[in-house]
Amino acid sequence: MVSSPTRYLVFFQYFGTKYSGVMETSNDQSIVGVQNYLEKAAQNLKPIVPIKFHISSRTDTGVHALCNSAHLDIQRAPGKPAFNEKQLIYNLNYHLKPEPIRILNAYRVTNSFHARFSALSRTYIYRLLIGCTHHSEIPVFERDLCWAPAGRRLEFWELKFRSRSFLYRQVRRMVGALVAVGQGKLTPHHIKELLEIKDSRAFPPNAMAPPSGLFLKSVEYNEADLDTTVAPGE
């Protein structure tokens, strides 16, 4: 008798500098996605069917995640019980070493749950280090973790954005536009014109904020969807 698969929602974080983004890419590329490593780690769980991570929120090359999420189905051999949440977290993290990717939490969910479409909102943070006149002024532990446009005094700013969903590179465009206005490279009237045009191709390419300062902070769900009392296959 073939056992039914169990669906899990996992929350995970990663330092995105070395990856092509979160989404899976061809394994023959020199730089691959976070999903490649997640699925490679999951195959060590010895599932009957290869495990696929369905990512809730895309992030680009160089973008980090304090907490992203994905759902996955695990079908074990007949007679083997479903993993509990702690077992799943431990085993995945063990096989993710030494990558800067970590599973934070896991929940058993119903088979109708979808990590992307069940999400209520997503929250991003963009970190700016204002006041740097030279790259060497960025604290060593902050390199690749912020954007440091020139300014008058050294201070960190964090800009927070929350929505059900976002357009491609939307946060980086918004941050870049704010900084460009602050530096006098764009005017508020120019921003109004760009919004009225509603064409991303009209956005000045040199006003795009770099990926290094962008973090996916969290993906929010209805608490009732994360009820850990769900039985396998429900």
For position 143, which CATH number holds?
3.30.70.660
* Residue 228: per-residue pLDDT: 57
Residues 6+ apart with CB under 8 A from 148: 128, 129, 130, 132, 135, 137, 138
**Are 113 and 128 members of one domain?**
no
Query: Is residue 223 included in any domain, yes or no?
Result: no
This prediction has a pTM of 0.89
Q: Domain count of the chain?
A: 2
H-helix or E-strand spanning residue 215: strand 214-220
Domain match, 81 and 37 both: yes
Residue pair 63/216 in contact by the 8 Å Cβ criterion = yes
Residues 51 and 131 in one domain: no
Predicted confidence at residue 159, as pLDDT, reads: 96
Residue written as tokens 């169990």? Answer: 6
Which of 118, 152, 168 is a domain's end point? 118
Looking at this protein, which amino acid is placed at residue 199?
A: D
- Domain-ending residue, one of 118, 141, 173: 118
Judge if 132 and 147 occupy the same domain.
yes
Same domain, 206 and 125: yes
Tokens describing residue 54: 């369905």
Rg (CA), the chain: 20
Contact yes or no for 144/212 (Cβ under 8 A): yes
Clarify whether residues 75 and 148 are in a common domain: no
| One domain for residues 151 and 79 | no
Query: Are 55 and 81 part of one and the same domain?
Result: yes
Per-block average pLDDT, block size 10, for the chain (234 residues)?
Answer: 85 96 87 96 95 96 97 93 95 96 97 96 95 81 87 83 93 92 87 83 84 97 77 42
Closest among 91, 92, 67 to 16, alpha carbons compared: 67
The CA–CA distances, whole Å, from 138 to 14, 53, 190, 222 equal 21, 36, 31, 39
**Residue 1 covered by a domain:** no
Q: Are residues 46 and 132 in the same domain?
A: no
Q: What angle do CA 106, 94, 55 make, to 5 degrees?
A: 45
User: Residue 21 in contact with residue 13, Cβ under 8 Å?
Assistant: no
Same domain, 154 and 198: yes
Quick one: 74 and 167 in the same domain?
A: no
Structural domain that includes position 26: 6-118
Quote the pLDDT of residue 230: 47
- Active-site residue flag, 60: yes
Domain boundary among 80, 103, 118: 118
Catalytic residue among 28, 60, 73, 225: 60
pLDDT of residue 96: 97
Instruction: Supply the pLDDT for residue 234.
Output: 40
Residue 11 belongs to domain with CATH number? 3.30.70.580
* 53 vs 10: CA distance, rounded Å: 9
Looking at the domain assignment, is residue 225 inside a domain? no
Query: 29 with 93: CB under 8 angstroms?
Result: no
pLDDT at 131: 81
Same domain membership, residue 129 and residue 110: no
What would the two tokens of residue 229 be?
Answer: 């009392």
Do the domain assignments include residue 200? yes
